[in-house]
């Protein structure tokens, strides 16, 4: 960067923070290639620090965040806070970086850039800021492994993207448990000597002037522990705050996950106060909201850490909904995991110090506070090893990935790791070229990994979409990819929920009767997609009419998920190369009609609509395969057998937005049916299945024949 540009940026005053300038002077005078920065929330580590580094060194700065949304919001915040004098660039998945001095991107973006055949290098020197280093997510760990140990087969790739000279800054607001331990093979003494502390640097976020309230230990509402009911308590507390203070600005943390009751937050009785959803608005929109009372809903993720002005009250949960590996079913299960202290510190940091009265409202009793840990195992340890091993094998082959010492900071348990590799071998995504551990990606896995780089999807979802594109017949590819893309999105983010299982409803009740679903293929994700496409065009938000008409059927619509679906589906279709009239019609709200016309113009609607995509779904998600007896479906509680683990698991009927009993009655086999479970959720210590993709029996037979096994248990066992 030219000095004149740096001077102009400094004129804004925003980044002229004396404490950060002190840190910068220490860093510049150091000759260390790796430095560490510890600072409390709102200290400028992710926003002001990159701009100061660029101005001081005259080199480019790449600031890596945990996901693309967090990176985008950081870049937007810097641009707004500096009044446009600093113009950082946000790089989304699959994009080349431009010429901006400061670049924000996700760890997954950087990982994908390493494997592009042609890439634009960061020339002229570079500082890489590894932000939130304590999280140790899988994308973060893969990037760290690549930077720490450039192995022979990708060293040239790394140097082509990041030529020397390069320096690293690792940041955290969470020093209670040393998140830097062992990084770049440095000793604790070296790390301590190379660590710079902003302010107190203890990350405590403690503010003696903040008032705190808890639920009573004897509160009869002991079901606050469930994410399904937390939101009702949060709603009651927020309404009470605004009754006492009409000008209060309340931040309410929402727990997102399949079939939580987060929709009740949209039903608050606020009087003259306004309701804002942080995930649907920019920080600029939020901070320009004007005077008066309001409630701001924010998910507990990295995007919620951008400073919001004027917050007087924070309504805080004690846990979050997160995926973690479950040994009994050999996969990740969505469960409620208690927060760590540093996450509560982040929430507390939103309280505006300019407000005289500030209060934290904890939706749990005081006794829980002592159970909240300083730190938890890294997400890598808690997570599924499949994506990690795909990345490690991509770097160095399985033998290199298993080598000691590992280029990663920590390793998943060996049993979990070997089962992950076994899944890849069974799916013919790894091939053996020598010894027992000499496994290498097949050309198909290479294509799947490229799709992951472009879309940010996990291994299984990318495998599914790749198989759809490979299995489709000539001329049918776009339609099948559209269906598959929406199945992926609505698997993760269902918008329809039954209040209970007592009311019998059909697809006609949901307003999707325009397409007669071919039996026996029924996907909960596809029903969600059909409902979404049919009821609300792109230019509208979810209206009261669908909700009103469905309440009599005990169906609820997650309005937030409904309105946000287009911002997920359209980018995914673009990344998959689907364009033309499909996206045009989706934006206009006519996609459901377009699909209907496509079906009517073919001789075999059965194959056209779901046969190809759902068979590909079975191929990619075979380890989710279950068998349900018809008699169990008609019982009060429905159970199915998870074939991979041979466990009997409960089905949450309230997650099925249609009559499963009706579907069983029209099946050819009166004994039962096969289905893939969409989401595995831990409830009160037991795994429950949320969502199903029902499979034709002949599909399962065809899949079994393709494996060469004698039965499904042999084909899917991981022991």
Q: What is the mean pLDDT of the chain?
A: 82
SS3 state of residue 326: strand
SS3 state of residue 397: helix
- In this structure, what token pair is assigned to residue 79? 């641009």
CA distance 167 to 125: 8
Radius of gyration of the chain (CA): 26
Phi (first) and psi of residue 321, to 5 degrees: -90, 120
Instruction: Judge contact between 518 and 605, C-beta under 8 A.
Output: yes
Instruction: Judge contact between 350 and 308, C-beta under 8 A.
Output: yes
CA angle 454, 456, 461 (to 5 degrees): 105
H-helix or E-strand containing 328? none
What percentage of the chain reaches a pLDDT higher than 70? 83
Q: Which of 116, 60, 126 is nearest to 93 (CA)?
A: 116
Residues 6+ apart with CB under 8 A from 3: 58
376 pLDDT higher than 70? yes
With 0-12 / 13-18 / 19 or more C-beta atoms within 10 angstroms meaning exposed / middle / buried, residue 82 is buried
Kindly list the structural domains of the chain, giving each domain's residue range(s) and its CATH number in brackets, ordered by start: 3-197 (3.40.50.300), 211-380 (3.40.50.300), 387-449 (no CATH), 457-716 (no CATH)
Lowest mean pLDDT across 159-168, 187-196, 657-666: 657-666
Lowest mean pLDDT across 174-188, 304-318, 354-368: 174-188
Strand-pair partners of 130: 64, 170
Phi (first) and psi of residue 123, to 5 degrees: -90, 155
449 pLDDT higher than 60? yes
Other residues' Cβ atoms within 10 Å of the Cβ of residue 138: 25
DSSP code per residue over 476-534:
-HHHHHHHHHHHHHHHHS--EEES-SSS---GGGGT-TTS-PPTT-EEHHHHHHHHHHH
Residues 6+ apart with CB under 8 A from 668: 519, 520, 697
The alpha carbon dihedral of 676, 679, 680, 683 has a sign of: negative
Tokens 């009044």 found at: 83
643 pLDDT higher than 60? yes
pLDDT digits (tens, 9 = 90+) for 566-586: 888 988 998 888 877 888 888
Instruction: Judge contact between 246 and 269, C-beta under 8 A.
Output: no
pLDDT of residue 201: 39
- Gap between the terminal Cα atoms of the chain: 57
CA distance 153 to 219: 60
550 pLDDT higher than 80? no
305 pLDDT higher than 90? no
Other residues' Cβ atoms within 10 Å of the Cβ of residue 247: 13
What percentage of the chain reaches a pLDDT higher than 90? 31
Q: Kind of pairing, strands 672-683 and 638-642?
A: unpaired
Strand-pair partners of 555: 498
DSSP code per residue over 66-133:
SSHHHHHHHHHHHHHHTTTSS--EEE-TTPPP-S-SEEEEEHHHHHHHTT-SS-----S-EEEEE-ST
pLDDT of residue 130: 96
pLDDT digits (tens, 9 = 90+) for 58-68: 899 999 999 99
71 pLDDT higher than 90? yes
Residue 1 confidence class, pLDDT cut points 50, 70, 90: very low
Q: Which of 509, 570, 571, 493 is nearest to 538 (CA)?
A: 570
3-class SS string, 431-444: EECCCCCCEEECHH
Q: Is 488 left (phi over 0), alpha (psi -120 to 50) or beta?
A: alpha
pLDDT of residue 514: 46
Q: How far is CA 600 from the centre of its chain?
A: 37
Residue 20 confidence class, pLDDT cut points 50, 70, 90: very high
pLDDT of residue 12: 45
Cis peptide before 310 (omega within 30 of 0): no
The alpha carbon dihedral of 651, 655, 661, 662 has a sign of: negative
650 pLDDT higher than 60? yes
Instruction: Judge contact between 388 and 412, C-beta under 8 A.
Output: yes
Most confident by average pLDDT, 57-71, 286-300, 595-609: 57-71
pLDDT of residue 696: 87
Exposure class string for 206-217: b at 16+ Cβ within 10 A, else e: eeeeeeeebbee
pLDDT digits (tens, 9 = 90+) for 385-434: 888 888 888 887 777 776 666 777 777 888 888 888 888 888 888 876 65
What's the chain's length in residues? 719
Residue 609 confidence class, pLDDT cut points 50, 70, 90: confident
Residue 225 confidence class, pLDDT cut points 50, 70, 90: low
Q: How far is CA 280 from CA 106, 193, 297, 662, in A?
A: 20, 42, 10, 37
Task: Look at 240 and 272; give whichever has higher pLDDT.
Answer: 240
252 pLDDT higher than 60? yes
């Amino acid at each position: 960067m030219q000095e004149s540009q740096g001077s102009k940026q400094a004129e804004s005053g925003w980044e002229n923070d004396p404490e950060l300038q002190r840190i910068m002077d220490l860093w510049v005078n150091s000759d260390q290639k790796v430095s560490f920065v510890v600072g409390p929330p709102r200290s400028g580590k992710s926003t002001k620090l990159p701009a100061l580094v660029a101005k001081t060194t005259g080199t480019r700065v790449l600031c890596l965040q945990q996901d693309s949304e967090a990176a985008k919001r950081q870049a937007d915040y810097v641009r707004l806070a500096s009044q446009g004098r600093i113009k950082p660039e946000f790089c989304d998945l699959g994009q080349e970086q431009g010429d901006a001095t400061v670049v924000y991107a996700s760890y997954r973006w950087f990982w994908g850039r390493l494997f592009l055949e042609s890439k634009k290098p960061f020339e002229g020197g570079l500082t890489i800021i590894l932000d939130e280093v304590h999280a140790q997510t899988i994308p973060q760990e893969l990037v760290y492994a690549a930077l720490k140990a450039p192995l022979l087969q990708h060293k040239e790739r790394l140097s082509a993207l990041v030529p020397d000279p390069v320096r690293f800054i690792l940041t955290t607001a969470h020093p209670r448990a040393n998140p830097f331990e062992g990084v770049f093979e440095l000793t604790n003494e070296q790390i301590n000597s190379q660590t710079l502390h902003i302010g107190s640097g203890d990350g405590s976020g403690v503010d003696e002037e903040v008032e705190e309230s808890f639920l009573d230990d004897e509160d009869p509402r002991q079901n606050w522990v469930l994410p399904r009911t937390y939101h009702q308590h949060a709603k009651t507390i927020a309404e009470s705050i605004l009754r006492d203070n009409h000008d209060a600005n309340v931040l309410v943390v929402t727990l997102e996950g399949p079939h939580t009751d987060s929709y009740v937050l949209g039903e608050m009785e606020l009087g003259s106060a306004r309701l804002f959803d942080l995930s649907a608005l920019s920080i600029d929109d939020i901070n320009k909201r004007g005077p008066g009372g309001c409630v701001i809903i924010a998910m507990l993720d990295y995007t919620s850490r951008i400073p919001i002005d004027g917050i007087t009250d924070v309504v805080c949960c004690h846990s979050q909904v997160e995926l973690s590996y479950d040994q009994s079913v050999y996969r990740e299960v969505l469960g409620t995991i208690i927060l760590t202290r540093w996450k509560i510190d982040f929430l507390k940091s939103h309280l505006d110090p300019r407000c005289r009265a500030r209060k934290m409202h904890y939706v749990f009793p005081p006794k829980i506070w002592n159970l909240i840990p300083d730190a938890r195992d890294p997400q890598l340890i808690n997570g599924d090893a499949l994506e990690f091993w795909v990345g490690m094998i991509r770097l160095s082959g399985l033998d290199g990935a298993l080598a000691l010492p590992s280029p990663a900071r920590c390793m998943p348990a060996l049993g979990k790791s070997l089962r992950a590799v076994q899944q890849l071998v069974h799916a013919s995504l790894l091939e053996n070229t020598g010894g027992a551990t000499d496994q290498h990606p097949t050309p198909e896995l290479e294509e799947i990994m490229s799709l992951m780089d472009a879309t940010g999807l996990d291994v299984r979802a990318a495998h599914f979409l790749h198989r759809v594109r490979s299995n489709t017949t000539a001329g049918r590819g776009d339609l099948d990819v559209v269906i598959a893309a929406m199945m992926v999105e609505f698997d993760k983010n269902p918008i329809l929920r039954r209040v209970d299982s007592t009311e019998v409803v059909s697809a006609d009740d949901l307003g999707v009767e325009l397409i007669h679903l071919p039996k026996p293929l029924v996907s909960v994700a596809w029903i969600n997609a059909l409902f979404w496409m049919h009821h609300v065009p792109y230019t509208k938000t979810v209206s009261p009419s669908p909700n009103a008409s469905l309440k009599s059927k005990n169906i609820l619509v997650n309005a937030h998920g409904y309105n946000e679906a287009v911002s997920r589906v359209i980018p995914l279709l673009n990344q998959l190369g689907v364009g033309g009239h499909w996206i045009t019609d989706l934006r206009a709200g006519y996609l459901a009609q377009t699909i209907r016309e496509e079906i009517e113009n073919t001789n075999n609607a059965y194959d056209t609509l779901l046969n190809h995509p759902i068979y590909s779904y079975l191929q990619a998600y075979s380890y989710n395969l279950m068998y349900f007896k018809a008699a169990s479906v008609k019982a009060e509680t429905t159970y199915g057998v998870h074939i991979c683990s041979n466990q009997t698991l409960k089905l949450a009927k309230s997650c099925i937005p249609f009559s499963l009993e009706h579907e069983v009655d029209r099946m050819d086999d009166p004994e039962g049916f096969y289905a893939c479970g969409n989401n595995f959720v831990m409830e009160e210590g037991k795994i429950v299945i949320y969502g199903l993709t029902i499979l034709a029996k002949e599909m399962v037979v065809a899949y079994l024949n393709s494996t060469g096994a004698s039965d499904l248990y042999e084909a899917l066992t991981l022991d």
